[in-house]
Amino acid sequence: MLKKQAQLGHKANVVCIRENTVNLRDSVYGQICWAIDKLHMTDEFKYSVSPMRITHISSGSAFYFYGGDKPEKLKSNTIQNVIALWFNL
C-alpha cells in the first residue's frame, strides 16, 4: 500500500505500535526493513533508530514506530496522511 503511494509521490504514513518499546527494533522495525528489501526498495528509504522511523526519500512518506507502554509519546505526536496502523501485541 505504501509502496504504490510513495512511487506516485503521494505522502502516506504508517504508524506501527508494539506492546512494549524494548522489542520494537528487533521485531516490527526489523520486519519492515526485511519487507522493503524484498521489494528491492532499500535505497529509496532513509533508516533512523532515534527517533525510530523509516522514511521514503522522495515522497517523505514514513513508518513511525511507538511502544504501547509509553502512551504519552503517542499523544504528543501529530502525524498526518496516515493510511495504515500496525498494532502488534
CATH of the domain at 30: 3.40.50.300
- pLDDT per position as a tens digit, 24-67: 888 899 999 999 999 999 999 999 999 999 999 999 999 999 98
Please give the tally of structural domains in the chain.
1
Spatial separation of the C-alpha atoms in residues 46 and 1, rounded to whole Å: 18
In this prediction, residue 9 carries a pLDDT of: 79
23 closest CA partner among 54, 72, 77, 66: 66
Strands (E), 1-89: 13-18, 45-49, 52-56, 62-67, 82-88
Spatial separation of the C-alpha atoms in residues 78 and 80, rounded to whole Å: 6
Q: Between 76 and 16, name the one with better pLDDT.
A: 16
**This prediction's pTM:** 0.88
Domain span at 12 = 2-88
